[in-house]
Structure 1
Amino acid sequence: MSFKIAIIGAGSVGFTKKLFTDILCVPEFQDIEFALTDISEHNLGMIKAILDRIVEANSLPTKVTATTNRREALEGARYIISCVRVGGLEAYADDIRIPLKYGIDQCVGDTICAGGILYGQRNIPVILDFCKDIREVAATGAKFLNYANPMAMNTWAAIEYGKVDTVGLCHGVQHGAEQIAEVLGAKSPRELDYVCSGINHQTWFIELKLNGRPIGKDELVAAFEAHPVYSKQEKLRIDVLKRFGVYSTESNGHLSEYLPWYRKRPDEITRWIDMSDWIHGETGGYLRYSTETRNWFETEYPQFLEAASKPIDPAKRSNEHASHILEALETNRVYRGHFNVKNNGVITNLPQDAIIESPGFVDRFGINMAAGITLPEACAATCMASINVQRMSVHAAIAGDIDLLKLAVLHDPLVGAVSTPEEVWQMVDEMVVAEAAWLPQYAHAVPAAKERLSKAHVKTREWAGAARRNVRSIEELRAEKAALKQAG
C-alpha cells in the first residue's frame, strides 16, 4: 500500500517516534510516506533524524519528509494526526501559575478547570486552521486523528466548525484496564473484557468480566485496597469507586481536578494524592514532568538517536489507537477500541452534541460505535458538569466572547468550589492578557481586560500550591535513573 500520513506537532519527539514505529509494525504499511510538520525547525530536525535512522536500520522503503509549511505536509494526505501543544510550555506555565494565585490547585490543567479551558481557547483557532487546510489540500475524505488536549473541546471544534471527519484518541482506557487486570491477578489484560463509556478523562468501566466472570464493585474495591502500590497511589480513585460503584479510567491526579470535592482545600489535597509520581496528584505535576522531559531529551539526544538504530519489534507495538485504526481501515482487519466522537445517541443519557468516549469497531467501512449505552446516574451527572463547561468554552473560543469564557470558567466544578465570581472574572482577564499572543480571537478584548486589571481589587497570593515539587536538573535525573537501574 502507498499513502501519506501527515503528523502535525511532530516535534513532540517521543510520541511521534512511538506512532511511527507502531504504524510500521503493519506489514502492508512499509511503503507509505510520513510528512512531519511543526513550527520548530529544531525539533523537526531532531525527529526526522531519528525516523530516518529507523528507516535505514530496518531497510525500509518508507519516505519521511519534514517541513514547517503545514499545507505542504498536508497536501494529498489520507490521514492527519495532531499532537500539538499550542503555546508550548510558556503558555502552559501560566495555565498553572495564574489560577494558583486564586487558590485553584491543578495537577495537569489541560482538559477542563481554568488551565484546560484556556488551553482550549489557544487550540481551537489553530485546530480550525488545520481543518481548513485539510479540506483544501488533503486527500478527499481525509481522516483527522486528534491526540491533543483538551480532547473533547478540540474534537468538538473540528467536527462542528471545522467540518472534517475527526476522531479523538486517548490511552486512558487502556491504562485503566491494565490496572484492573493487574489487581485482579490476570496473566494478561486480554483476559479482561469491559465496556467503558463516558467522556474523555471521565470514562467509566460500567461492565467488567475476567475470563467471562462478572466483576462487581466489592471485589474490585477489595482488589485495589489490597494492592501494595495502587492502594497508595490511587486513593482518590478508589474513593470514587466506592461511592460511584464503578472505576474511572483517569489517573488519580487528573480525576482530582475534574471533581469539586477533593482539591478545594489545601489540607484535603495532600490527603488524597500521592507524591511518588506526578500523575498521582502533584501540584503542576505534568508541567514539571514536561519541562524535565524536554530538558532530558535535549541533553541526551545522541543516545536517543543511537537507540533508533535497533530493529522494529512488532511484539512491542503499543496500544495507542492510531496504528490499529489505520490497519483496520486499510486492511479490513477489525479493531475494537474506545473513540472520541459526537454522541448522536450512542450514550442515551448524555447530550447529542457532546463529544463522548465510548466503544466502537473499525473496519473498511469506518468507525462504528456501539450505541444504546446508559451510564449510571452519578457518572452521567459528573460528565454533564464537564460537558456544559466544554460547550461554553468551544462557543467562547469560536466567537472570541470573553464574557462567555468567564461563565465557562465560573461553571467549572473545581473553580466553582474554590473561587467567587469576582475572583473568576479577574483571573480570566489576567490569563487572557498573559496569553494574548496565542489568543487572536480575543485581541479586541485585551485592552479592556488590561484596563480592568489596572484597577483590580481582588486580593491574590503568590502560592506554589499544596504539593509542589521543583523541576529536577539533568544531573538529578541522571542520578535517579542510575539508582533505579541499580535497584532493578
Structure 2
Amino acid sequence: MSFKIAIIGAGSVGFTKKLFTDILCVPEFEDIEFALTDVSEHNLAMIKAILDRIVEANKLPTKVTATTNRREALEGARYIISCVRVGGLEAYADDIRIPLKYGIDQCVGDTICAGGILYGQRNIPVILDFCKDIREVAAAGAKFLNYANPMAMNTWAAIEYGKVDTVGLCHGVQHGAEQIAQVLGAKSPKELDYVCSGINHQTWFIELKLNGRPIGKDELISAFEAHPVYSKQEKLRIDVLKRFGVYSTESNGHLSEYLPWYRKRPDEIARWIDMSEWIHGETGGYLRYSTETRNWFETEYPQFLEAASKPIDSAKRSNEHASHILEALETNRVYRGHFNVKNNGVITNLPQDAIIESPGFVDRFGINMAAGITLPEACAATCMASINVQRMSVHAAIAGDIDLLKLAVLHDPLVGAVSTPEEVWQMVDEMVVAQAQWLPQYAHAVPAAKERLSKSKVKTREWAGAARRSVRSIEELRAEKAALKQAG
C-alpha cells in the first residue's frame, strides 16, 4: 500500500515517534509517506532525524518529509493527524496562573474549566484553518484524526464548522480498563470486556465482565479499596464510584476539575488528591510535567536519537487508536475502540449535537458506532453540565463573542463552585488580554477588556495553589531516575 499521512504538530516529538512506530507495525504500511509539519523548525528537525534513523535502522522504504508549510504537508494526504498545542507552554501557564488568582485550582486545565475553555478558544480558529486546507488540498475523502485537547471542543468545531470527516482520539478508556483489570486480578487487560460511554474525559464503565463474569459495584469498590496503590492515588475516583455506581475513565486529577465538589476549597483539595505523581491532582501538575519533559528531552536528545537505531518491535505496538483505525480502514481487519464523534443518537440521553466518546467498530466501510446506549442518570447529568459549557465555548470561539465566552466560563462546574459572576467577568477579561496574540477572533474585544481591567475593583491574590510542586531541574530529574533504577 502507498498513501500519505500528514501529522500536524509533529514537533510533539515523543508522541509523533509513538504514532510513527505504531503505524509501521502494520506490514502493509511500510511503503507509505509521512509528512511532518509544525510551526517550530527546531522541533521538526529533531523529530525528522529520529524518524529517519528508525527508517534506516529497519531498512524500510518509508518516506519522511518535514516542512513548516502546512498546505504542502497536507497536499494529497489521505489521513491527517493533529496533536497541536496552540500557544505552547507560555499560553498554558496563563491557563493555570490567572484562574488561581480567582481561587480556581486546576490540575490539568485542558478539557473544560477556565483553562480548558481558553485553550479551546486558541485552538478552534487554527483547527478551522486545518479543515480549510484539508478540504482544498488533501485527498478526496481525507479523514482527520484529532488527538489535541480540548478534545470535544476541537472535534465539535471540525465537524460542525470545518466540514471535514473527523474523529477524536484519546487513550483514557484504555488506561481505565487496564486499572480495573489490575485491581480485579486479571492476568491481562484482554480478560476484561466492557462498555464504556459518555464524553471525552467523562466516560463511564457502565458494563464490566471479567472472563464472562459480570462485575458489580460492590466488588469493584472492594477491589479498589484493597489495592495498595490505587486506594491512595484514586481516592476521588473511588468516592465517585461509590456515589454514582460506575467507575470513570479519568485520573483523579482530571476528574477532580470537571466536578463542582472536590476542588472548591483548598482544604478539600488536600483531602482528595495524592502528590506521588502529577496526574493524581497536584495544582498545575500537567504544566509542571510538560515543562520538565520538554527540558529533559532537549538535554537528553542524543540518547533519544541513539535509541531510534533499534529495530521496531511490533509486540510493543501501543494501544493508541490511530494505527489500529488506519489498519482497519485499509486492510478490513476489524478494530473495536472508543471514538469521539457527533452523538446522532448513539447515546440516548445526551444531546444529538454533542461530541460523545463511545464504542465503535472500524472496517473498510468506516467507523461504525454501537447505538442505543443509555447512561446512568447521574453520569448523564454530569456529562450534560460539560456539554453545555462546550457548546457555548465552541460558539463563542467561532463568533469571537466575549460575552458568550464569559457565560461559558460562568457555567463551568468548578468555576461556578468557586467564583462569583464579577470574578468570572474580570478573569475572562484578564485571560483574553494576556493571550491576545493567540486569540485573533477577540482582537476587537481586547481594548474594552483592558479598559475594564484598569477600573476593576474585584480583588485577586497571588497564590501558588493548594498543592503545588516546583519544576525540577535536569539534575534533579537525572538523580531521581538513577535512584529509581537502583531501587528497581
Q: TM-score band (shorter)?
A: over 0.9
1: CA distance, partners of 2:219 / 2:487: 33
1: CA distance, partners of 2:316 / 2:456: 55
Deviations 1:159-184 (A, max 9, x none): 00000000000000000000000000
1: CA distance, partners of 2:377 / 2:213: 24
Identify the residue that residue 60 of structure 2 maps to in structure 1.
60
2: CA distance, partners of 1:351 / 1:207: 22
Q: Report the alpha carbon displacement of residue 456 of structure 1 after superposing the two structures with TM.
A: 1.1
Residue aligned with 1:92, SS: helix
Runs of 4+ in structure 1 displaced over 6 angstroms? none
Residue aligned with 1:145, SS: strand
Listed as ranges, the gaps of 5+ residues in structure 2 are none
Residue aligned with 2:73, SS: helix
2: CA distance, partners of 1:268 / 1:304: 41
Listed as ranges, the gaps of 5+ residues in structure 1 are none
1: CA distance, partners of 2:393 / 2:336: 31
- Pair 1:375 & 2:375 matched: yes
2: CA distance, partners of 1:343 / 1:371: 9
2: CA distance, partners of 1:487 / 1:83: 35
Identify the residue that residue 43 of structure 1 maps to in structure 2.
43
Deviations 1:392-432 (A, max 9, x none): 00000000000000000000000000000000000000000
TM-score w.r.t. the length of structure 2 is: 1.00
1: CA distance, partners of 2:485 / 2:76: 46
Residue aligned with 1:276, SS: coil
TM-score w.r.t. the length of structure 1 is: 1.00
Residue aligned with 2:97, SS: helix
Q: Report the alpha carbon displacement of residue 111 of structure 1 after superposing the two structures with TM.
A: 0.2
Residue aligned with 1:36, SS: strand
- Pair 1:173 & 2:173 matched: yes
Identify the residue that residue 160 of structure 2 maps to in structure 1.
160
2: CA distance, partners of 1:377 / 1:32: 46
Deviations 1:175-204 (A, max 9, x none): 000000000000000000000000000000
Deviations 1:230-270 (A, max 9, x none): 00000000000000000000000000000000000000001
1: CA distance, partners of 2:487 / 2:3: 46
2: CA distance, partners of 1:365 / 1:218: 40
2: CA distance, partners of 1:296 / 1:458: 40
Residue aligned with 1:50, SS: helix
Deviations 1:73-129 (A, max 9, x none): 000000000000000000000000000000000000000000000000000000000
2: CA distance, partners of 1:308 / 1:90: 30
2: CA distance, partners of 1:401 / 1:24: 44
Q: What percent identity do the matched residue pairs reach?
A: 97
1: CA distance, partners of 2:425 / 2:236: 30
Deviations 1:112-156 (A, max 9, x none): 000000000000000000000000000000000000000000000
1: CA distance, partners of 2:251 / 2:137: 38
Deviations 1:269-315 (A, max 9, x none): 01000000000000000000000000000000000000000000000
Identify the residue that residue 303 of structure 1 maps to in structure 2.
303
Over the residues paired in the alignment, what is the CA RMSD in angstroms? 0.2
1: CA distance, partners of 2:251 / 2:376: 20
Q: Report the alpha carbon displacement of residue 472 of structure 1 after superposing the two structures with TM.
A: 0.1
1: CA distance, partners of 2:65 / 2:221: 50
1: CA distance, partners of 2:309 / 2:214: 45
Residue aligned with 1:77, SS: coil
Deviations 1:331-374 (A, max 9, x none): 00000000000000000000000000000000000000000000
1: CA distance, partners of 2:251 / 2:335: 25
Deviations 1:41-68 (A, max 9, x none): 0000000000000000000000000000
Q: Report the alpha carbon displacement of residue 457 of structure 1 after superposing the two structures with TM.
A: 0.5
Residue aligned with 1:198, SS: strand
Identify the residue that residue 104 of structure 2 maps to in structure 1.
104
Residue aligned with 1:34, SS: strand
2: CA distance, partners of 1:457 / 1:97: 19
Residue aligned with 1:361, SS: strand
2: CA distance, partners of 1:337 / 1:353: 21
Identify the residue that residue 233 of structure 1 maps to in structure 2.
233
Residue aligned with 1:468, SS: coil
2: CA distance, partners of 1:33 / 1:24: 11
Q: Report the alpha carbon displacement of residue 446 of structure 1 after superposing the two structures with TM.
A: 0.1
1: CA distance, partners of 2:160 / 2:198: 19
2: CA distance, partners of 1:153 / 1:147: 12
2: CA distance, partners of 1:13 / 1:218: 42
Q: Report the alpha carbon displacement of residue 436 of structure 1 after superposing the two structures with TM.
A: 0.2
2: CA distance, partners of 1:271 / 1:66: 48
Deviations 1:423-472 (A, max 9, x none): 00000000000000000000000000000000010000000000000000
1: CA distance, partners of 2:470 / 2:293: 14
Q: Report the alpha carbon displacement of residue 221 of structure 1 after superposing the two structures with TM.
A: 0.2
Deviations 1:2-25 (A, max 9, x none): 000000000000000000000000
1: CA distance, partners of 2:231 / 2:138: 48
Residue aligned with 1:31, SS: coil
1: CA distance, partners of 2:256 / 2:207: 23
Residue aligned with 2:461, SS: coil
